[in-house]
Chains A and B, each alone.
Chain A
Amino acid sequence: MGKIISIANQKGGVGKTTTAVNLAASLAIAERRTLLVDLDPQGNATSGVGYAGDDAQRTIYQALLGLATPAEVLQQTEFSYLDIIPADPDLIGAEMELLHYERREFILADRLSSLRERYDYILIDCSPSLGLLTINALAAADTILIPLQSEYYAMEGLGQLLFTVRRVQETLNPGLEIEGILLTMMDQRTTLARQVEKEVREHFGPLVYQAVIPRNVRLSESPSHGKPIALYDVSSTGAQAYFQLADEFMRRQAAGGADGGAAVAEDLAGSQTG
């Protein structure tokens, strides 16, 4: 059964989509059957893997509203081990339309359940909000992976996210765990970035990946070419960082995950919001 990982942080511009696209691609390169679900109406993960859309406009929106089956909205990518369920701006409407559905928090979980057998990993790229779509992603997921920008305000809003995780654990999805915390956009030349890294590691311990994603020009260029960084520039520091992340991610799976993710989340949510 495939593991479902939501990549979430309600803060925008922290590297969610970059991480979703490039972790998914790196896992696919390692020949793990991987599905990337774009759950952001901006559709950046969709274009980031080079999917340009088709006339039928098969997207996650159709699957959520029951207009198409999950299998019908699956699309192949340039990687033989990577499929994508694309998103387009229609998805903005879903947030409102799904309000009238029964079990509205579980719609994505229900839709993805039929696909789990086909994949080793299902990665969900969330939108920068804690709205109904992100709640659906957390209700469907086994774990949440949190990208954190290595800047002064990195931890801002994290308390709220972890509080939400705890609420989801209490009500919708008791099994939800924290997969890991990933430092992104790291400029190792600055003292500030190193300070933020130190602080985050002290706070979250083994939940924080050793792999750190650097600020990298090639990484920011690759989406405009519709390519994951591995295809755009395999030797760039950005590509190397995502390979290292995938390596660490897979080794954590083999070792049974980062220990006590859920407990840490509970602690932190308590201390930061209470």
Chain B
Amino acid sequence: MKQTETDSLRRLLVDGSRQLGIELGVEQQEALMAYLEALQQWNRAYNLTAVRDSREIICRHFLDSFAFFSFLAGRSGPVLDLGTGAGFPGLPLALLLPALPFLLVDARRKKTLFLQHVVRLLGLDNVEIHHLHLRRGNGSTKLIKPAAALVSRAVSVRDEVFPVAGELLASGGQLLLSATASSREGIVEDVASHEYLQLQDITPVVIPFLEQERYMIQIARV
């Protein structure tokens, strides 16, 4: 990457974060840029995300992950990121919240190996990576510590997250889902059909440089 390009990407990251009320320190900026570089490197052969352009990765992955920040700040963990993929939203959040333990889970080996590499590269000691396919009733959910919060922006939230949320969340824990305008309604309907889930709040969020509307849906485990 050329220096001018790196500088302009870094500015995008810093400006976007500021719009979300996050002041990135120099070390955090460096770490996120190293993460971006590793992601681009691995993506060539291992196809970790369909988003290929660095600017888009910053907006659609990094800043999109940061939208969870204000909902997690000041909490105790662990925070579970189910279906984390290339680490979103869990890994950028773990970088911003070093005192909060994060558990990142994905069923695909290429993704968990990449994440192990990034965690090492960035020297993060508040992140555990688990290569697991969490399904209800196969015992897999017992392998994960009960979480205080479960974060996900996976499209397959309804099929994959809801069935196991009850087993994965500690009592009083919270599900935090980021949804688009179109996926919001389905999620709300599904919450109503699970008796251990209770809808708490829906907050519109603005992701800098993205046109799309987003909503942060807060659901309690009762």
Count residues of chain A with CB under 8 A from any CB of chain B.
14
Among A79, A230, A231, A247, contact of B45 (Cβ-Cβ < 8 Å): A247
Q: Compute how far the CA of A50 lies from the CA of B121 in the bound complex, rounded to whole angstroms.
A: 26
B117 contacts A80, C-beta separation under 8 Å: no
A80 contacts B109, C-beta separation under 8 Å: yes
Residue ID in chain A nearest B121 by CB atoms: A235
Residue ID in chain A nearest B108 by CB atoms: A31
Q: Is B113 part of the binding interface, using a Cβ–Cβ cutoff of 8 Å?
A: yes
Among A29, A235, A247, A250, contact of B109 (Cβ-Cβ < 8 Å): A29
Q: Is A234 part of the binding interface, using a Cβ–Cβ cutoff of 8 Å?
A: yes
Q: Collect the chain A residues with CB atoms within 8 Å of residue B2's CB.
A: none
A29 contacts B116, C-beta separation under 8 Å: no
Q: Compute how far the CA of A30 lies from the CA of B109 in the bound complex, rounded to whole angstroms.
A: 9
As a 0/1 sequence over residues 70 to 106 of chain A, the CB contacts with chain B under 8 angstroms (1 = contact) are 0000000001100000000000000000000000000
Q: Collect the chain B residues with CB atoms within 8 Å of residue A31's CB.
A: 47, 108, 110
**Chain A contacts with B in 107-135, Cβ cutoff 8 A:** none
Distance in angstroms from B177 CB to nearest chain A CB is 27
**Chain B contacts with A in 74-109, Cβ cutoff 8 A:** 108-109
Q: Is B145 part of the binding interface, using a Cβ–Cβ cutoff of 8 Å?
A: no
Q: Compute how far the CA of A80 lies from the CA of B108 in the bound complex, rounded to whole angstroms.
A: 9
A29 contacts B46, C-beta separation under 8 Å: yes
Q: Collect the chain A residues with CB atoms within 8 Å of residue B108's CB.
A: 31
Q: Is A163 part of the binding interface, using a Cβ–Cβ cutoff of 8 Å?
A: no
Q: Is A178 part of the binding interface, using a Cβ–Cβ cutoff of 8 Å?
A: no
Q: Compute how far the CA of A235 lies from the CA of B117 in the bound complex, rounded to whole angstroms.
A: 5
As a 0/1 sequence over residues 151 to 189 of chain A, the CB contacts with chain B under 8 angstroms (1 = contact) are 000000000000000000000000000000000000000
Q: Is A63 part of the binding interface, using a Cβ–Cβ cutoff of 8 Å?
A: no
Distance in angstroms from B104 CB to nearest chain A CB is 14
Q: Compute how far the CA of A231 lies from the CA of B131 in the bound complex, rounded to whole angstroms.
A: 12
B46 contacts A234, C-beta separation under 8 Å: no
A234 contacts B109, C-beta separation under 8 Å: no
Q: Collect the chain A residues with CB atoms within 8 Å of residue B117's CB.
A: 234-235
Q: Is A208 part of the binding interface, using a Cβ–Cβ cutoff of 8 Å?
A: no
**With contacts A28-B109, A80-B109, A243-B42 known, what are 18 further pairs, Cβ within 8 A?**
A29-B110, A30-B45, A30-B46, A30-B47, A30-B110, A31-B47, A31-B108, A230-B113, A231-B113, A234-B113, A234-B120, A235-B121, A243-B45, A243-B46, A246-B45, A247-B44, A247-B45, A250-B45
Q: List 24 A-B contacts (CB under 8 A).
A: A28-B109, A29-B46, A29-B109, A29-B110, A30-B45, A30-B46, A30-B47, A30-B110, A31-B108, A31-B110, A79-B109, A80-B109, A230-B113, A231-B113, A234-B116, A234-B117, A235-B116, A235-B117, A235-B120, A243-B45, A243-B46, A246-B45, A247-B44, A247-B45
| B interface residues with partner A (beta carbon < 8 Å) | 42, 44-47, 108-110, 113, 116-117, 120-121
